[in-house]
Chain A
Amino acid sequence: MGFMMTLSTILATLASPIAALAQSEPVHAAQQEAGHAAAKMEAIAAPGVGPLWLLLIPVLPLVGFVLSALCAAFKVKSKLPAWLTVLCLGASFAVTLAMYLQISSGQIANPSVATGFEWIRVSWGLGDAHSIVANFGLYIDSLTCLWMLFVTGLATLIGLYASEYMAGDVGAGYCRFFAAFNLFVFSMSCLVMGDNLLLLYLGWEGVGLCSYLLIGYFYKKPSAVEAGKKAFIVNRIGDLGLALGLMLTAVHFGSIEYSVIFAKAQPYLTALSEGRLGDIPAVVQLIPVLLMIGAFGKSAQLPLYVWLPDAMEGPTPVSALIHAATMVTAGVYLIARTYPLFLLSETALPIVAWTGALTALLAATIGMAQFDIKRIMAYSTVSQLGYMFAGLGVLTSGGAAFHVFTHAFFKAMLFLSCGAVMHGFAGQLDLRKLSGVGSMPGWRVVGIAMLVGCLNLAGFPVITSGYWSKDMILGEAFANPHMVAIGWILLLTAGLTAYYTFRVYFRVFVGPKYFEPGDEVHGHGGGDHGSHGADAHGADAHGHKAHDEHGHEGHGHDAHAHFHPHAPGWAINTVLAILAIAAFAVIGLRFVGGHEGWVSGLIEHSSANYAGHAMYAAAASHAGAGGDEHAHATFFGYDAHTAMMYVSGVVGFIGIAVAFVLHFVGRTTAAKSRADALLPLVGPLAKWAQGKWYVDELYNAIIRVPLLVLAHLFHLIDKAIVDGIVDLFGWVPKFTGSSLRPSQSGVLHGYALSMAGGLAVLVLIVVMVMK
């Protein structure tokens, strides 16, 4: 019944763009849009009943976690936990795929809720009005499908990669790694699939915990422990916002289940589409602002981005999966999932857009000046996440989601390629100490994968998926008359991104062959930060035996004659190849399933649909009316979307060309390039950018130092006053005792005499009184 209703609503939704097209009068477009939005929001509000086998998606990784933990308990000294992980995650991916197919064919209603069991119920009276319920239930719509497809798919692939990458740690560490890896996927699926904000919160904290555990995987290294703590603490700040947003939602809407929230937000959305902004209470407008803080923490946006670059202390598969492809997109997911609430606030989405754009620019400038290739990738992740937030902020949730999707593939691939280099060269990550890696024997797959990843990240025109997803965001930013400034920032960032991406590629993967192995071999800190060495962790030890005959050409000079690069094996190469193909294949998604691509089609049928915000009536009518090019801003007189296809392509091309001229042409050594000659021109800027604009130092000065001073102050107060009072209570009886002690002489007659004296006094008193 509910299913039929939902299906008919979906059909109506699909039909409405056609109706909007037929409506050629632009004046009426806004009203048309309002009705249109209301129809869509109703589709969100009525979830069907989902089948219980969907619960397998989170449960299978949990099984993998238990099995890996059992491996640890039984001290398994083989790659068994890796294969169990790949099996469980692969099965989970298969179930996700089945879920997607059933959703898209309409066999499962979109959206629908599959309730596993009642998890938490807090009641303070009779009836649903006096209770908060959080079921262990899954909210399934096309947004969930999109996220789970790449989460489980990439987790499977990266698990396979890690089976080889972590081979040096076979034993307890290997089991620990895969246990946390599985637990991460479980938490992530709770986050993405939960049908209420509390289950999302559980997953949110769960992924945070796994991130902490995996960043600190090499717990004997102080920098890794520091980085883990930093990630955890910075995320706590964001989580406070999320928790407050959750509580405010519960207080205002009386429920934390998405279906109920969306239903209760419907009157506000209607008010919004009719332009009655005053009807929306301030409390409702505050909810998205609080939720946003949580999203900024988890997705490493200003001002909470500082943890992500340090998180690169973790093993590279973790950086690829958690800190590039999946966990850090949780913030984007949160905003997309609660998009109706964000639409209700006048300020929320502009804040998201500006934060995203500024983060993108800041991180890109830092990335340009770093020498550690993994850190460059980390800053590029922060920058691209900024893009996604900007996309959400300029009302192209479809574009943001598409960028999440393409970024997940190419960024995971970039990290895995960097990881292969790190694995093979004993932890070397300094781009001044590596050159021509791509042409060394056994490194071709890595070189090609890196090239594909770099092209995607740089947004090389037409042939890369990164170009198409970035383009959607840029086009929408320029199309929105309020957001043109953001468009320019993002365009500048796109150029910088192309430059720093290809700076890495031209220096490390092509050019004269040269390398210096990392500090695992030397045993002392020779790297840029002197801290990434332990990642390959014993891998170089077995590297010698299998690859003695390879890599001799790569030797720069005799000092490293004893070191042989450890070319990646079949697992790493297979995963890289699959990802490289996938990175190209997802371009196709831009051109199937709806006028703005498959992802936008999925987003349009989920809660992330954005139509109906009166404030952005122009942009909304543009997006909702599908290809109808009225009422939106233009780019120097041209249609923004069409113009961006050329402009962003040219900007990307310029960035790559600059990198080519500066870092490839005429470069004869690994350490020097023509860019060094330009350094005096920019003055101290390069040094500042290399110092990450001293944001960490600033945070130290304005947050950590005052806290430390305050802590010492409180310590003194505690010592002097609190402890003083407690000590006084101890001192009084002690003093009394010691002053009374001499009265106990121990002489029997003394006691007898005092008793007799006492008796005498008593008798005397009695006699006196009786008289």
Chain B
Amino acid sequence: MNMLASIPGAMDAVISGTTLAQASAPAPMAASQLAHYLFVSAALFAIGLIGFLTRRNLIIMFLCTELMFQAAGVALIAFSRFHLNMTGQTFVIFILTVAAAEAAMALALVVLLFRRRESLNAEEFSEMKG
């Protein structure tokens, strides 16, 4: 880790083919700073997970999954900045796009499910019981 940090842009040159060294490279980030971001990310994820497990409302549960998504996004951004590697940011853009599409579909499903049972309680829907 230290080795990668000590040679800025080296990994990027290998992975992306462009060299950050040519651009004006930002200052490297300290490991303690990274920990803060990761803590936020972990907290977001934990909140989302707990919410998903405890709440019964489909929309809330859906929003909780979004929270977990964003937690992953924050972690990626943080690592990206820490390693000065653009791949993490690319992935976050990707996640946002997928999340947008997924949100549209999931909400549509929720609407359909609501029409079926007149309820948003997740426990109403257990037809796949083996």
Contact = CB atoms under 8 A, between A and B. Distances in A.
Interface string B45-87: 0000100110010000100000000000000000000000000
Interface string A28-51: 000000000000000000000000
B126 A745 contact: yes
Contact of A745 (B49, B52, B129): B129
A746 B129 CA distance: 4
A746 B123 CA distance: 9
B126 A746 contact: yes
A752 B52 CA distance: 8
B127 interface: yes
Contacts of A748: 61, 122-123, 125-126
Interface stretch (A227-235, A427-435, A736-744): A736-744
Contact of B128 (A740, A746, A756): A746
A363 B127 CA distance: 81
Contacts of B49: 756
Interface in A715-771: 740-749, 752-753, 756
Give the one of A743, A748, A752, A756 with max B CB within 10 A. A748
Contacts of B26: none
A745 B61 CA distance: 19
B17 interface: no
A746 B127 contact: yes
A753 B127 contact: no
A669 to B, nearest CB: 87
Contacts of B127: 746
B126 A747 contact: yes
Contact of A747 (B52, B61, B123): B123
A744 B126 CA distance: 10
Nearest to A745: B129
A121 B53 CA distance: 79
Contact of A749 (B53, B128, B129, B130): B53
B130 A741 contact: yes
Nearest to B52: A752
Nearest to A753: B53
Given A756-B49, A756-B53, A749 B122 contact: yes
B53 A744 contact: no
Interface string B1-33: 000000000000000000000000000000000
Nearest to B65: A752
A753 B53 CA distance: 6
A741 B130 CA distance: 5
A742 B129 CA distance: 8
A744 B129 contact: yes
Nearest to B124: A748
B130 A743 contact: yes
Contacts of B56: 749
A742 B130 contact: yes
B52 A746 contact: no
Interface in A613-659: none
A744 B130 contact: yes
A748 B65 CA distance: 14
B128 A744 contact: yes
Interface in A37-78: none
Nearest to B45: A759
A746 B53 contact: no
B116 to A, nearest CB: 15
A748 to B, nearest CB: 4
Contacts of A743: 130
Contacts of B52: 752, 756
A753 B128 CA distance: 17
Contacts of B130: 740-746
Nearest to B58: A748
Contacts of A749: 53, 56, 122-123
A752 B128 CA distance: 15
Contacts of B126: 745-748
Contacts of B53: 749, 752-753, 756
Contacts of A742: 130
A742 B126 CA distance: 13
Contacts of A747: 123, 126, 129
Interface string B85-128: 00000000000000000000000000000000000001101111
A752 B61 CA distance: 10
Give the one of A752, A753, A756 with max B CB within 10 A. A752
A183 B19 CA distance: 92
A746 B49 CA distance: 20
Contacts of A740: 130
Give the one of A740, A743, A756 with max B CB within 10 A. A756
A745 B127 CA distance: 9
B10 to A, nearest CB: 24
A41 to B, nearest CB: 86
Contacts of A752: 52-53
Contacts of A746: 126-130
Nearest to A741: B130
A737 to B, nearest CB: 9
A752 B127 CA distance: 16
Nearest to B129: A746
A759 to B, nearest CB: 8
Nearest to A743: B130
Contacts of B128: 744, 746
Contacts of A745: 126, 129-130
Nearest to A760: B49
Contacts of A744: 128-130
Contacts of B61: 748
Contacts of B125: 748
A756 B52 CA distance: 10
A255 B121 CA distance: 87
A358 B129 CA distance: 81
A747 B61 CA distance: 14
A756 B125 CA distance: 20
A764 to B, nearest CB: 15
A42 B130 CA distance: 88
A741 B128 CA distance: 11
Nearest to B121: A748
Contacts of B123: 747-749
Contacts of A756: 49, 52-53
Interface of B: 49, 52-53, 56, 61, 122-123, 125-130
Given A740-B130, A749-B122, 8 more contacts: A742-B130, A743-B130, A745-B129, A746-B129, A748-B123, A748-B125, A748-B126, A756-B49
22 contacts: A740-B130, A743-B130, A744-B128, A744-B129, A744-B130, A745-B129, A745-B130, A746-B127, A746-B128, A746-B129, A747-B126, A747-B129, A748-B122, A748-B123, A748-B125, A748-B126, A749-B53, A749-B56, A749-B122, A752-B53, A753-B53, A756-B49
Q: Which 6 A-B pairs have the closest CB atoms?
A: A746-B129, A744-B130, A746-B126, A741-B130, A748-B122, A746-B128
